[in-house]
Structure 1
């Protein structure tokens, strides 16, 4: 049992590293809407229940969730699992000393993951995560029983499999440059999940939306202030131009 736990924790610790994804499937566009409070609140719930068991968000405090419309009491009652103080950071449930003893390093922090990952010509870190969490499939040849189209031979198990259910990819064999290659065509549902495919995609979208917001909670304020600054500069430029014209009017 300990060996299985160790392998799962190691998988969680390394599997979120982003590959270049050359030759793989294209990344889908993540429905990031960091001003959608309902989506952010649902994403925070998914994050705390499914991700925070092994991964920390050490640069994010629970009380910062008030910025997405949650009260301090709601945070304490529904999201405060790893500590009893709402002002604490989001630390994982795993013991760091045990994690380091088992696989040599702690699972990576997820605070800024969505903003730190991208690939040339592929998309943003949010796009990667959105596609990654939606392309797990059952693979009995793997120790965890799962694999991933975006990250082939991934060690991380599908933590949301009960929501999505089990499915396998469908491939079509085609000939390219004289060689037979397998081209991904779609999915075959093996067992149903507790959610429909549309509901699952929405749930993953909310999770990625929260990860994007968590990476920079002040981003909406920054954009809003930036718009007002640009408007002010436009008005100031207009007044400056007219003052300059009036000043030099009599000068020949």
Structure 2
């Protein structure tokens, strides 16, 4: 009985540890780099996910595939097959096909210096906070091949495909003494300067990026809401069962000295 009790306690501790690690992924995703903003979590909001899907297919899917997801999976965010076909499939693909693209990995590397990643798994690889901050920290830089740079991903090969929505911005930096070495100077970011207006206001742009990132997060794990719901049920069950096992163990050994 004692061994059973110890096993149950170990299971609960392991489950809680996994949950804690999962919650901490985004917070550590860019340790030592540009500070990350917290991404709004809208994976339970179908309207936001549908808007994110629209932004994805119009601005991202030309270069980035989502090869782990089929178009018909978008039924889970409240879309019908006809809506998917009419609004989100821009090629001759079928509703049951994977969300792949025509550009090969070889061509992508030749165009951008690196093969564009598959975005069906990018939210799990990078974290939603990283993506949310990344899409919002592009700035003009004439020294790069694309004319763009990024605070989260310096010298990024991908141009700012959403620049028409956000407008063109310049990053302002200041030279300051390195706090770790008084003999050195470091370049510190102090803000953005809007060069040309975009079609969206700043808050509207951020709101749409939140929808896009939420959609990328949903694609990375379409069943995540169900997983979390079941996880809570399992933890509650284990806690109750552990309590019952503890009381049973105490009752069993009470008359044995």
Q: Distance in 2 between matches of 1:44 and 1:145?
A: 27
Q: Distance in 2 between matches of 1:95 and 1:251?
A: 73
Aligned residues: 226
Q: Distance in 2 between matches of 1:182 and 1:104?
A: 26
**1:128 — aligned with what?**
130
Moved more, 148-157 or 87-96: 87-96
**2:8 — aligned with what?**
none
Moved more, 42-51 or 239-248: 239-248
1:13-57 CA-partner distances (Å, limit 9, x unpaired): xxxxxxx96764212222233222222111111111111111111
Q: Quickly say closer, same or farther: Cα 1:178–1:246, change in 2 above 3 A.
A: closer
Aligned pair partner of 1:186 in 179, 191, 196: 191
Gaps of 5+ in 2: 1-28
**1:195 — aligned with what?**
200
**2:171 — aligned with what?**
169
What TM-score does the superposition give when structure 2 sets the normalisation length?
0.77
**1:145 — aligned with what?**
147
Q: Quickly say closer, same or farther: Cα 1:243–1:142, change in 2 above 3 A.
A: closer
Q: Quickly say closer, same or farther: Cα 1:169–1:97, change in 2 above 3 A.
A: closer
Q: Distance in 2 between matches of 1:155 and 1:104?
A: 7
**1:226 — aligned with what?**
231
Q: Quickly say closer, same or farther: Cα 1:137–1:229, change in 2 above 3 A.
A: same
The 8 Å contact of residues 164 and 192 in structure 1, kept in 2 or not, is answered as: yes
Query: Does 2:88 correspond to 1:79?
Result: yes
Structure with the largest fraction of helix: 2
Deviation at 1:155, TM superposition (A): 1.9
The 8 Å contact of residues 52 and 214 in structure 2, kept in 1 or not, is answered as: yes
